[in-house]
Amino acid sequence: MSAKLSVLLCLTLLTGCSGASNPKALTDQGSEALRSGKYEDAADSFEQALAKLGGETSGPEWMRAKLGSIEAQTHIDATKATEDFLSFAASNPDRVTDSHFNLIGSRLGDSGHLAEAFAVLEAGKKAHPESPHLEALLNELGKKAESSGDPDALEAIKSLGYVGD
């Protein structure tokens, strides 16, 4: 094999293995950025992974990238994150668990978006009425509503079943 052909073959193999074209690597990068608080970078990596996966929506890597993208959005655009998650949950009721509702609702609450967190909690309670995860989220968000001093937030969380301490 000629030297030129060897170099070309190596370059082709390296390009094919790069993280930029591998959805799993992109999702891993997004997860790392999310853990590091680099939410814009995380969202970008997850969106690239979703684009690479295209119509392969049934696999676990697509689900991981989709939920990662939504989680990153909870810190960037709470309204978009809420709309995306609720739409995703409605179209995937067998795949979206009470833990997913808990995660996204909690992240929205942590980033100070109580109204959006309440919307996720309300949908989660309808889908999973007996969930201990969502009961814990109700109490977590209730405490945040109390400490916010916002009477509308407190009234909203009480309408979801929060009774306080």
Whose CA is closest to 30, among 50, 15, 55? 50
Structure letter (DSSP) for residue 129? T
Angle at 59 between CA 53 and CA 62, to 5 degrees: 45
**Digits of tens for pLDDT over the chain (165 positions)?**
555 544 444 434 444 444 457 999 999 999 999 999 999 999 999 999 999 998 888 889 999 999 999 999 999 999 999 999 999 999 999 999 999 999 999 999 999 999 999 999 999 999 999 999 999 999 999 999 999 999 999 999 999 999 886
Give residue 31's identity as a one-letter amino acid code.
Answer: S
Give residue 13's identity as a one-letter amino acid code.
Answer: L
Entry pTM: 0.84
**Euclidean distance between CA atoms 145 and 21, whole angstroms:** 43
Domain map of the chain by residue range? 21-76, 78-165
Q: Which residue has the tokens 């991981």?
A: 64
Angle at 99 between CA 31 and CA 135, to 5 degrees: 135
